[in-house]
Amino acid sequence: MTFTHPVAPSPTTNAEPEEYLVLHEFIAKARNNLNRNIWDYLIGGTETETTVRRNRLALDSVAFRPRVLVDVQSVDARASFFGRTTRLPVLLAPVGSLESFEAGGGASVAEAAGRFGVAMMASSVTQPGLEAVAAAGTGPKVFQLYVRGDDGFIDDHAKRAVDAGYDAFCITVDTAFYSRRERDIAKRFRKNWRAHQAESMRFQAGLNWGHIERFKANHRIPLILKGIATAEDASRAVAIGVEGIYVSNHGGRQLDHGRGTLDILPEIVAAVGGQAKVIVDGGFSRGSDILKAIALGADTVGIGRLYCYGLAAAGVEGVVRVLELLEAEIEECLGLCGVTSFAGLDGSYLHPATPVVPPHVHSAFPHLNLPVETY
């Protein structure tokens, strides 16, 4: 039997500040609001989920080396994203089927990102579609494409993205095969967009460097490649003029036994050498996580599951409140590290460390006390 998910109803919570005071409260509320199939889709990874855990392990294996006696009365966490100022160096990463968490889906996320002041990346496999998502938000936006057709398919989406006002275009490059996500398989749960596009997924498997070179020759919109995991691929992308290198292992949802993205980041930064923007995602859950990535050379940090908890808990207001709490953590961490902005951070503020908790998808939230089976 094949199960498909319904569009989730809009949460009734208004996400008043006093209702959500710490980030893990959104996780608990989201879990209560979502059915088990959608919850497992949100938190799960591929096969053994080793890559999910390694994302957290990499982050937890870094400690801070703070400076003291620095005047940090004024801390500025602003950043830039493809020439536009953002309130934080944070990107709301592309997530498929956002409408299964909240009825507004990608439009709600775009609205929240614009209202708060961060960038968002709209997935081609989320609703309500490219144009409607762009119209819903005022902040920086990127359209992310899963290739489900020939060159004409790619060209059409690129033109539509330009016409809709997107700041950049992204092609995902780590999904040549759709992974075996055993939480879904064991329950015979199949997302409806995947069932409808199964035949056309062969185009993603055929995607190669020639397609990227062709895109650069035919389109003027900045191009980001999402799913870069080695210096070799980063160097090749930069050599053909790719403007954004997105370091990602798909949140642990594609290749099992991959490396944690914070472990990958230094070699990518070195290979890029400032010739392109570097974005990273993969398990980033706290303000301190954001600082670690920026100190290691990232320009922007993507969050995925974290904002989805806010979306599932309280819709647009929930995403905005997640970002407010994340901002509070970031500003505190900047000040306690002895810097007044991200420009003051570098690798000298970090040190290798031994993790103190076993890594899992929610190990950044020790007070959550979820039952083991939800990990």
Residues 284, 323: Cα–Cα separation, whole Å: 13
**Reduced DSSP (H G I as helix, E B as strand, rest coil) percent helix, strand, coil of the chain, to 5:** 45, 15, 40
Nearest to 148 by CA among 94, 226, 202, 193: 202
276 membership: H or E segment, kind and range: none
Q: Which residues contact 95 (CB under 8 A, 6 or more apart)?
A: 123, 126, 304, 308
Q: Which residue has the tokens 């070799």?
A: 232
Task: Give the active site residue among 250, 351, 360, 367.
Answer: 250
- Would you call 142 helix, strand, or coil by DSSP? strand
Tokens of 100: 């299964």
Residues counted in the chain: 375
Q: Which residues contact 339 (CB under 8 A, 6 or more apart)?
A: 67, 70, 72, 345, 349
Residues 336, 155: Cα–Cα separation, whole Å: 48
The β-bridge partners of 168 are: 142
Note whether 252 and 52 are within 8 A (CB): yes
Other beta carbons within 10 angstroms of residue 264's beta carbon come to 22
Q: Is 211 a catalytic residue?
A: no
Nearest to 322 by CA among 8, 36, 20: 20
Helix spans in 257-304 (H): 261-272, 287-295
- Would you call 186 helix, strand, or coil by DSSP? helix
Note whether 121 and 302 are within 8 A (CB): yes
Residues 369, 96: Cα–Cα separation, whole Å: 27
Which residues are catalytically annotated? 250
